[in-house]
Structure 1
Amino acid sequence: MAPAAEHEPDPAGPQQVIALVDDDRNILTTVSIALQAEGFATRVYADGQAALKALLENPPDLAIFDIKMPRMDGLELLQRLRAQSDMPVIFLTSKDGEPDEALGLAMGADDYIAKPFSQRLLVARIRAILRRTELRRPRPENGTDEAEELPQPVRRGRLVMDPPRHLVTWDDKPVALTVTEFLILEALAGRPGVVKSRNQLMDAAYSDDVFVDDRTIDSHIKRLRRKFREVDPTFAAIDTLYGAGYSFAES
């Protein structure tokens, strides 16, 4: 199935672009209209295979995937996208899609929303993720004093985090993290040995207008550990204190 037509209003200035991937044309149309009314440009695709090629060739600022789609579902689309991109992604799931939600977060999705959903809530979560992404976007190095004022990387033993550039290394090996994963790790590494509750990590990673549950943080922690173990199978710097939360052990 070919991608649906692109919808991009004629703006006075640059717009943030949201890609929508869903085989339900009604959702594509209604969500696209709602996002355009909020000042976003939208690109819509009814086919995961066509969407993957377009997302990689011309990346949007954020993508929204339905999970249940024919040919290539949202989980497979995310898996293939994550092999080449850390683009922010929100999943749309069914009410009974808890296993899919957990799997999507474990694979690197930034958030999920269950259908039927409030368009106001969707817009709030999009803006929250885009704000976090913008905070981590590298500043242009143009030889001005602004470039010299960038904060120095944070070093915690074998871990190095460079927030302005959204870069993370472990033993000098790069570790690719989503914005949400980066913020959770930053909150933990900011005070090594101090146990952070799930609520504290939610506050660090999500804005006040976005609500998530404990399972969401647990899924992000599992993915963080898995990513670090891909570069160091002995990685054990994120500790769990059952019933209390998580901490970072500086080695």
Structure 2
Amino acid sequence: MHSIFISGAAQGIGAAVARLFYQAGYKVGIYDLNVAQAEQLAQQLGPNAQAGGLDVADYAQWQTALARFVDWAGELNILVNNAGILYSGAFEDTEIQAHQRTMQVNVNGVLNGCHAALPYLKQATFARVVNLSSASAIYGQADLVSYSASKFAVRGISEGLDVEWQKYGIRVLDVMPLFVQTAMVKDMDAGTIQNMGVHLSAEDVADEIFSCVTRKSSLFTATHQPVGLKSKFLFTLSRLSPQWVNRYSNMWLARRPD
């Protein structure tokens, strides 16, 4: 039985991933800052789910959580770096501590997870890493500057490790959804979400993750996986259009409705 370890799994996308993989017969690790909520979800799923506490910005907690999980599951096959936070609004109106915390969780959390998990992934019969990036990593986003920058970093980590870890037979992928119907986007203060709306569910993202890690042949699986038609369109447009077109397109999307 294959296993999957998910950070930030107590709610939202992480919980949707946990449910989907559990139904598919995986042993599921549900790790989150909110231990009580993680344990509640594990109890709902059944005996092949394990819950635990994890602050992804703390490397020592990663080491403890992964050792506990592998001791229970037998091996680590899939790591999903899902935990993340978002602050929105004008850059200068957001406290610097909030910008810094975004980097600590969204960037250092992914670095910590990948680094701590590698010894276990190398020993597994099948291994994949999926990092939660975002359509905000296609072009820098007004009113979401630190969040967007953190997801660009996740994109770079995924690209670099997907090449570097091919020697171990480990694919490192990222998924890039636009706005998803979760608590993270509630009361979000950014023109982009007002103009583009929220059309993806947590289950849509979970389906994409399941699809990209369970394909029989991963040889031609792209490192970046945009989720939804809008994300796919924006991702393709950014690759084909001149830089000035991308800039003005994003200026238009970021405008505040009157």
TM-score of the two chains, using structure 1 as the length reference:
0.39
Greater relative contact order structure (CA < 8 Å, 6+ sep): 2
**Larger C-alpha radius of gyration, 1 or 2?**
1
TM-score of the two chains, using structure 2 as the length reference:
0.38
